[in-house]
Every structure is written in C-alpha cells, then in structure tokens.
Amino acid sequence: MSPVIENLDLYVDGFLTSLSIIVVAMIGSLLLGTLIAAFRVSPVPPLRAFGTFWVSTFRNTPLSVVLFFCAFGLPELGINRTFYFFGVLGLILYTSAFVCEAIRSGINSVSAGQAEAARSIGLNFSQSLRFVVLPQALRTVVPPLGSVIIAMFKNSAVVGAFGVGGDLWSTGQTLTSARGYETLPIFIGVAIGFLLITLPAGAVLQVIERKVAIAR
C-alpha cells in the first residue's frame, strides 16, 4: 500500500471532491425527487403525466447515458458549464427518479382519511401534502430512501469517468495511467475512500431508521 501512502495528499483531495459531489447530488435529488413525487400524486393530469414521464425516462436510462447527454449534449444546446456541474446534474436527474418512487410509496401508505381530514379543515392539495401527508410518509420511506442514497454514493464514481477531475476515481486513473503506479493498490485506496463515505452514512441511516420506528 506504499503507493497510497506516497500519494495520500491526492487521495485526501479526491475524497473531499467526491464528498462534495455526493452532498450536492444528495440534496438536489432529494428536493427534486420530492417535487416529482408530488407531481405523481397531483390531482392535475398534466403534472401526473409529467411525473410519470420523468420517472419512466430516468429509471429506464443507464446513468452513463444520462451523464453523456449532460456532458456532451447540453453544450450542443448552448449550455456551457464545467464537467463538475454536468456530472452533478446528471447524478441528480438520475437519482431523483428513484427518490420519487420511494417517496410516492410512502405517500400511498398514508391513509386516505388523513388527506380527507386535511381537506375538511380547508387545506388545499399542496398544503395537505406538505403539512399532513409528507411528514407521515417520510417516516415510512427511510429504509428504501436510504438504499437509494447509498446507491447514489457509489454511482458518484461513474461521474468521475466523465472528466470531472479531482475526485477519487479520477485520482486513481491519474496515478495508474499518468504516473505508472500498479492498478491494484491504487484502486484499493480508491475503494477505501468510498468506504469511508458509505459506511458512516449507512450507520447514520440505521440510527435514523430506529428513531423513526420508535416515533411511529
């Protein structure tokens, strides 16, 4: 493991860059996925149709294709940003579809009487969803939503293959291709970096799941 130790500063920089990708993509996909889930259960037919189209498109499209479109298709449409921006955007779009379905399953598990009670006291659809249905639904979707988020953490490695630069995956590629280090120890270091992200995240999610289960 001497190559890892010799290049520890690069691994630390790569770890921080990967962590920033993960945090931004997680927040973005949770917000966008929740919005699309609201569309999916909306009483407005065009919104439901859009939500269904979104989920069907991104759940059935490989992440690499989504990233390729963001990195090389959007510039053709006049949208010019950094590869970091395109990589994070692609990860958000892709993951939001899975977040949407996890949250929608939680919404469907809430008794219809809850929404009816909300309407009876004068709340409209968005208000009943925000104040009554979603708080209850989110408690039931912690396990599936956690699985989606952990999968997104690992999918962030794919983002590095699209020229983001500076992340853990790119660090491993640079050290093996440009500096001639052996592949096995270098990518063991990359794997350890991702484990330092996913294992604590999994432990935190388990704690949250237990607390939510007690609350229910």
| Closest to 34 (Cα-Cα) out of 119, 150, 134 | 134
| Residue 11 scores a pLDDT above 60 | yes
- Domains present along the chain, CATH in parentheses: 2-212 (1.10.3720.10)
| Residue 213 scores a pLDDT above 70 | no
Mean pLDDT on 27-39: 94
pLDDT band at residue 163 under the 50/70/90 scheme: low
What's the confidence (pLDDT) of residue 52?
A: 94
Within a 10 A sphere around the Cβ of 65, how many other Cβ atoms?
Answer: 12
Distance CA 212, CA 216 (A): 6
Distance CA 166, CA 161 (A): 11
More confident residue, 6 or 165: 6
pLDDT band at residue 182 under the 50/70/90 scheme: confident
DSSP 141-198: SHHHHHHHHHHHHHHHHHHHTTT--SSHHHHHHIIIIIS---HHHHHHHHHHHHHHHH
Please report, rounded to a whole number, the percentage of residues in the chain having pLDDT higher than 90.
27
Q: Which residue matches tokens 């997680």?
A: 26
Give the model confidence (pLDDT) of 114-156 as tens digits.
777 777 777 777 788 877 888 888 778 888 888 899 899 888 8
More confident residue, 13 or 124: 13
Residues in the chain: 216
More confident residue, 63 or 108: 63
| Closest to 128 (Cα-Cα) out of 147, 151, 111, 146 | 111
